[in-house]
Amino acid sequence: MKIEPENATTNICNISYLTEMVHGNKTLMSEIIDEFHVQISEELKRINDALENANYQAIKSLAHTMKSTVSIMGVTILTPLLNEMESLAKNANDIEKIKTLTISLNIICKKIIDEVESNKHKYIETK
C-alpha cells in the first residue's frame, strides 16, 4: 500500500464533520482544534517510540486510537494506513512494513498539523 499526501494545494482535513458535530460553535471548534494538535503530536511520538522498541501491542493500540483522533478532523486518507498498521501489529509480524507505514504516517501527520495550524483562523472565523 502506497499512501502519499496529495499535492500542496489539496486539503487533507475536511472540517465539515467537526463543524456539524459542534453545531458551528466556534469557541468549541477552536478548543477541539487545539486539543487535536496536542493529541496527534503525542500519539505520533508514542507510535514512533513503540516502533523503536518493536512493541506490537502498543503499535496496535495507538493505530486504533489514532483513527478516532484523525476522524474528528475529517481525515480519511489515514484510515487504510492505520488499519494496516493495526492488523500487522495485531499479528506481531512484518516490522519492516510497519516502519514503512510509519514513515508515511509521519509525513501525512506533519502535513495535517501544518494544514490545521495555517487554516485554523478560517475554520473558526465568524460570519
Classify residue 23 by its DSSP letter: T
The pLDDT, as a whole number, for residue 5 is 44
DSSP string, 28-40: HHHHHHHHHHHHH
Q: What is the pTM of this model?
A: 0.84
39's grid cell: 493529541
Length of the chain (residues): 127
Residue 47 located in a structural domain: yes
Residue 39 located in a structural domain: yes
CB 47 within 8 A of CB 63: yes
pLDDT (tens digit, 0 to 9) for every residue of the chain, 127 residues total? Answer: 444 444 445 788 988 888 898 998 989 999 999 999 999 999 999 999 999 999 999 999 999 999 999 998 999 999 999 999 999 999 998 999 999 999 999 999 999 999 988 888 877 775 4
CATH of the domain at 61: 1.20.120
The pLDDT, as a whole number, for residue 6 is 44
Residue 87 located in a structural domain: yes
Q: What angle do CA 92, 39, 50 make, to 5 degrees?
A: 25
Look at the chain and report how many structural domains it folds into. 1
Place of cell 510509519: 102
Give residue 21's domain range: 16-124
Residue 43 located in a structural domain: yes
